[in-house]
Amino acid sequence: MKIDRILIAQPGVASANPHYANLIHKYNVKIDFKPFFSMVPLSVREFRAQKVNIPDYTAIVFTSKGTIDAFFKLCLEQRIKIPDSQKYFCTSENISYYLQKHIIYRKRKIFYGDGTFASVVKLAKAEKHKDDKFLLASPDHIYPEWISMFQETKLKFASAVVAKFVDNDLKDLNLNDYQIIAFYNALDITSLKNNFPNYKPGDTKFVAFGSGIRKAMTEAGLNYAIGGPTSEFPSLANALEKLIVEPDFKQTIMPAEKKPVVAKPAEPVKAKKVAEPKPVAPKVEVKKVAPKKAAVKPAVKKQVAKPTAKKVVVKPAAKKSAPAKKNTPKPATKKVAPKKAAPKPVAKKVVAKKPAAKKAIVKKAVKKQVTKVTSKKTVAKKVAVKKTVPSKSKTKKPVAKKAGKR
């Protein structure tokens, strides 16, 4: 059987991929791309029925390009402004680059895995993301394993359906014209059944790339010639080239099924290994340095006995300091001078208060002051009294004149 036409159930153009373009020129075959289903964004009314508030979440998880378009379309229709601090987690690098259609890529916090959802969950479990609230923007057809993976991490998360799958109209397509048909998604099989309920494959060869599509084809009773990816066929282009060269090829190396459940028992095994070295601890305790500490104690006592001699030497030094204190009677002279100078302001106050009194009273006050000054025998004070007398004699003259007028 000669292979001249190939159908790939995906959107795209053969000339855009160099691997497919090489097959066209090398083997003179025709490769057509036709998606069997499409992803349609939900309406605002359908989305609000889920009661999910997008601004409450700081990290968004995307699994496909269609969910990215649907998510930002809903944000635009609801007038929700996404902050610059928003984090984005994508399953692959190719999907993360698709974010450039809606945001400025270099100014955002974007993280991507190796193509599997488990890699995204591993990134989310990092210490720097433990306080974030994750929103899994998914289509209506979501794998329950994804939800269980997030539940095991004990992170704050929620899932929201942002798009739904719709079967494309394939009635104008004649599947018998193709010798090879390649599938990627399990929804391709549901669309095939809905569009062609009485379809019989005949001599058509099928290629199934992905664990989900392989399982769906087995349940539908369709046999695939090559299932991938495997070490022998890491890409779809390699599988197509093998069937073009050998149409009757039978696969011997089957793809390994990656079961995430296998990773669960690995964790408790590590915990047991950590618990085993606990009995080693008493060996370390046996090496006690108790005898060494006992030897140190007497050495310390000998050192304490030596400073006792120094204390005896300090005591006579304190006795010598005693006579130095006896030479401190000098401050006694300071007490005499300031205390005797205190009566000076008293005399001045008395003189100042009695200028308005009668002549007889003023004369008596002057005599008393003179007697006090002479008793003390200080020349400086007598001079002060003489100066005050003429000031009072001047005050007598105007009093005499007033008396004459009377």
- 28 and 65 in a common domain: no
Average pLDDT, the chain: 74
- 212 and 103 in a common domain: no
* Mean pLDDT confidence for 233-237: 92
Q: Which pLDDT belongs to residue 120? A: 93
* Mean pLDDT confidence for 127-142: 90
Per-residue confidence at 212, pLDDT binned at 50, 70, 90? confident
**Per-residue pLDDT at 170 exceeds 50:** yes
- How is 10-71 classified by DSSP, letter by letter? SS--GGGSHHHHHHHHHH--EEEE--SEEEEEPPHHHHHTT---GGG-SEEEESSHHHHHHH
- 183 and 88 in a common domain: no
Pick the most confident of 8-17, 33-42, 309-318.
33-42
Listed residue (176, 195, 199) closest to 5, CA to CA: 176
Last residue of a domain, one of 116, 137, 167: 167
Whether the Cβ atoms of residue 6 and residue 179 lie closer than 8 Å to each other: yes
Per-residue confidence at 252, pLDDT binned at 50, 70, 90? confident
Question: Is 376 among the domain residues?
Answer: yes
**Per-residue pLDDT at 168 exceeds 60:** yes
358's enclosing H/E stretch is: none
Angle between helices 379-405 and 359-376 (to 10 degrees): 170
**Per-residue pLDDT at 406 exceeds 50:** no
- 62 and 158 in a common domain: yes
Above pLDDT 90, what percent of the chain? 48
Query: For residue range 150-162, what is the model confidence (pLDDT) as tens digits?
Result: 889 889 999 999 9
**Per-residue pLDDT at 210 exceeds 60:** yes
C-alpha 394/C-alpha 184 separation (Å) is 132
Length of the chain: 406
For β-strands 133-139 and 109-112, DSSP reports them as unpaired
Question: Is 350 among the domain residues?
Answer: yes
- 91 and 11 in a common domain: no
Q: Regarding predicted confidence, which is higher, 308 or 253? A: 253
3-class DSSP state for residue 72? helix
Query: For residue range 34-47, what is the model confidence (pLDDT) as tens digits?
Result: 999 999 999 999 99
- 154 and 66 in a common domain: yes
Burial of 276 (0-12, 13-18, 19+ CB in 10 A): exposed
- Measured from the Cβ of residue 390, the count of other Cβ atoms closer than 10 Å reads 9
- 48 and 131 in a common domain: yes
**Per-residue pLDDT at 198 exceeds 60:** yes
Last residue of a domain, one of 258, 280, 311: 258
279: cis peptide before it, omega within 30°?
no
**Joined tokens for residue 75:** 């944000």
- 32 and 47 in a common domain: no
Question: Is 282 among the domain residues?
Answer: no
Q: Looking at residue 210, which CATH number applies to its domain?
A: 3.40.50.10090
* Mean pLDDT confidence for 249-271: 57
Q: Which pLDDT belongs to residue 306? A: 47
Calculate the CA 248 to chain-centre distance.
Answer: 58
Q: Report the first-to-last Cα separation within the chain, whole angstroms.
A: 164
Above pLDDT 70, what percent of the chain? 62
C-alpha 62/C-alpha 89 separation (Å) is 6
C-alpha 26/C-alpha 21 separation (Å) is 9
Q: Which pLDDT belongs to residue 362? A: 42
Question: Is 239 among the domain residues?
Answer: yes
| Phi, psi dihedrals of residue 281, rounded to the nearest 5° | -60, -40
Listed residue (174, 176, 249, 254) closest to 214, CA to CA: 254
Number of domains in the chain: 3
Query: For residue range 66-88, what is the model confidence (pLDDT) as tens digits?
Result: 999 999 999 999 999 999 889 99
Q: Which pLDDT belongs to residue 387? A: 45
Strand partners of residue 165: 39
What's the domain range around 375? 342-390
- 221 and 80 in a common domain: no
Query: For residue range 352-401, what is the model confidence (pLDDT) as tens digits?
Result: 444 444 444 445 544 555 444 444 444 444 444 444 444 444 444 444 44
- How is 194-232 classified by DSSP, letter by letter? HH-TT---TT-EEEEESHHHHHHHHHHT---SEEE--SS
Q: Tell me the pTM.
A: 0.56
Question: Is 284 among the domain residues?
Answer: no
Q: Regarding predicted confidence, which is higher, 126 or 345? A: 126
- 376 and 227 in a common domain: no
Question: Is 285 among the domain residues?
Answer: no
Question: Is 64 among the domain residues?
Answer: yes
Per-residue confidence at 307, pLDDT binned at 50, 70, 90? very low
Per-residue confidence at 269, pLDDT binned at 50, 70, 90? very low
* Mean pLDDT confidence for 259-278: 42
- 174 and 127 in a common domain: no
Q: In what order do the strands lie in the sheet with 59-62?
A: 37-41, 156-167, 133-139, 59-62, 87-90, 109-112
- 43 and 163 in a common domain: yes
Last residue of a domain, one of 197, 227, 258: 258
Question: Is 156 among the domain residues?
Answer: yes
Q: Which pLDDT belongs to residue 368? A: 52
